Amino acid sequence: MDYFYIGIDDTDSPDGMCTTFLASAILKEFKKNDIEIIGFPRLIRLNPFAKFKTRGNGGISFKLDLNQKIDLAKEIVLKFVSELSIMDCDNTNPGVVFYKGEITEEMIRYAFKAIYSIITIEEAEEFASQIGAEIHKFKKGRGIIGSIAAISCPLEDYTYELLAYRDSSRYGTLREIDYDSVVRMDKETFPETFENIDGEYLAIEPKTPCPILYGIRSNNPEVLDIARDIVIPNERIADSCIFKTNQHTDMHIQNANRISELKQYSCYKVRGIVKDKPHIIEGGHMFFTLYDESGEIECGAYEPTKNFRKIVAELKAGDEIEVYGGIGEQNTFNIEKFQVLKLNQFLYKNPICECGKRMTSAGKGKGFKCKNCGRKIGSDDKVPEIVERSLINGKFYETPVSARRHLSKPLIRMNLD
Ligand code: ATP
């Protein structure tokens, strides 16, 4: 069936604004003019490795019935985008897309491309003309890339986010949210809401100067009303809006059959065998190599993943695991989570001497010698020894809430036994 769709992207800068806030302001204006959208506004997260993203690479879309005041809706959207976008930031290049019709297979393919890989402005423009969409580019108009994807993205798995916005006089100042009330909200609504808190870290509170006071994420919209009532803001909430979104669905993860298939700036799950003991480098980042018969890749658990690195440090050469994550700027596989498929229960070590001491190598091809009693053996073969492992076969391990990507599906949403 034909509907009217609106897509908006790339209106904010690192110093202010947020496309969701603009969307919420537009919806208020729609309401004043008796324009109704169908369902919730959508917040669609796209490729986390897109070069020009401000923060979470999100685009917005609305769906309207054709009997709504379409021309007025278009006028309002263009007015708000041109007046509220941070146009003086070089990296802010808004794009608005209007589309009347059905969401076609080729549009769905485009949306997945915007999540899986990189699209140019020219390619997006060509695609818009192919599907008969109306585009409005402000400055370079890069936002049309995400706007088309936000309209076209199917949502089989989805979540919701309630965003509460601050009074504009408070922008840039410390946010005032009662910590204990968030703990209470988490206790009463988790796991239907999730990613609320991580120890002392208030995950619902953004750390940037944007208009958002807090964002609460959930599996259903009803629980957000309960959560909203429990959280005590110690500053005025100027506005709020619930979005339907692909956040926390793993929609960015592609299945890779072998390591040689992996491409930079894309996200995957892939199986492999740990080649070496994970090691930490300056800055606190931890790395190890994962291999299969087709090749190998360096996997990283970066400093912000904090205690997750202690789990990664427990991996040993020979462990078979499946990693979820993506390949960024440095060409390393940035791990979001992993599942242990088969732990290596054996370590090959120098033999123990009859006297009870561990023997040492007598030199290449010369076997082992015991420094304690002088005994020698000619064979160079190390012996397998069963080792105690703290990791568990079959179990998933994930990065902490504070370091999690918007698209990453938390284990709590994975229906694991
Ligand atoms: P916020 O989340 O704070 O609203 P953001 O992180 O979404 O900001 P934007 O300011 O929207 O960042 O900038 C992202 C830009 O990247 C947009 O112009 C969008 O069209 C573009 N973009 C999105 N996906 C891709 C992609 N796959 N390839 C190339 N460009 C993309």
Q: How far is the CA of 51 from the centre of ligand 1 (A)?
A: 8
Q: How far is the CA of 8 from the centre of ligand 1 (A)?
A: 10
Mean pLDDT of the residues in the chain: 96
Determine whether the shortest distance from the Cβ of 94 to ligand 1 is under 6 A.
no
Q: How far is the CA of 173 from the centre of ligand 1 (A)?
A: 26
pLDDT in tens, 68-111: 999 999 999 999 999 999 988 988 999 999 999 999 999 999 99
Task: Tell me the C-alpha distance between 30 and 53, whole Å.
Answer: 28
Whole-angstrom Cα Rg for the chain: 26
Determine whether the shortest distance from the Cβ of 47 to ligand 1 is under 6 A.
yes
Give the pTM.
Answer: 0.93
Q: Directed axis angle between helix 179-189 and helix 222-230, to 10°?
A: 150
pLDDT of amino acid 17: 83
Q: How far is the CA of 141 from the centre of ligand 1 (A)?
A: 11
Nearest atom in ligand 1 to the alpha carbon of residue 210 is: 3
User: What mean pLDDT comes out for the span 267-287?
Assistant: 97
Determine whether the shortest distance from the Cβ of 408 to ligand 1 is under 6 A.
no
pLDDT at 415 over 90: no
pLDDT at 230 over 90: yes
- Which amino acid makes up residue 207? K
Locus of tokens 């304690």: 372
Nearest CA to ligand 1 atom 2: 56
Determine whether the shortest distance from the Cβ of 52 to ligand 1 is under 6 A.
yes
pLDDT of amino acid 347: 84
- What are the CA-CA distances from residue 388 to residues 221, 279, 347, 385, 391 (Å)? 45, 20, 10, 10, 9
| Comma-separated ranges of CATH 2.40.50.1010 domains in the chain | 254-345+389-413
Nearest atom in ligand 1 to the alpha carbon of residue 144 is: 20
The torsion angle over the Cα atoms of residues 314, 315, 320 and 326, rounded to 10 degrees, is: 110
Determine whether the shortest distance from the Cβ of 119 to ligand 1 is under 6 A.
yes
Which strands sit side by side in the sheet containing 368-369, from one edge to the other?
360-361, 368-369, 376-377
Determine whether the shortest distance from the Cβ of 405 to ligand 1 is under 6 A.
no
* Residue 296 tokens, joined: 């190998």
How far is residue 293 CA from its own chain's centroid?
A: 29
Q: How far is the CA of 236 from the centre of ligand 1 (A)?
A: 29
CATH assignment of 3-152?
3.30.70.2200
Q: Are 195 and 139 in contact (CB under 8 A)?
A: no
pLDDT of amino acid 12: 87
Of 186-190, 199-203, 214-218, minimum mean pLDDT range: 199-203
Q: How far is the CA of 202 from the centre of ligand 1 (A)?
A: 25
Class of domain 254-345+389-413: mainly beta
Q: How far is the CA of 212 from the centre of ligand 1 (A)?
A: 18
Q: How far is the CA of 155 from the centre of ligand 1 (A)?
A: 19
Task: Tell me the C-alpha distance between 279 and 301, whole Å.
Answer: 10
Determine whether the shortest distance from the Cβ of 152 to ligand 1 is under 6 A.
no
Residue 189 contacts by C-beta under 8 Å, 6 or more apart in sequence? 196, 218, 223, 226, 227, 230
Buried b / exposed e over 153-171, threshold 16 CB at 10 Å, is beeeebbbbbbbbbeeebe
User: What mean pLDDT comes out for the span 33-53?
Assistant: 96
> Is residue 54 very low, low, confident or very high in pLDDT (cuts 50, 70, 90)?
confident
| Comma-separated ranges of CATH 3.90.600.20 domains in the chain | 159-245
CATH topology assigned to domain 159-245:
Glycinamide Ribonucleotide Synthetase; Chain A, domain 4 (3.90.600)
pLDDT at 14 over 90: no
pLDDT of amino acid 58: 95
User: What mean pLDDT comes out for the span 401-413?
Assistant: 96
pLDDT of amino acid 417: 65
Nearest CA to ligand 1 atom 7: 57
Locus of tokens 């040492």: 360
| Comma-separated ranges of CATH 3.30.70.2200 domains in the chain | 3-152
Of the chain, the percentage scoring pLDDT greater than 70 comes to 100
Nearest CA to ligand 1 atom 23: 146
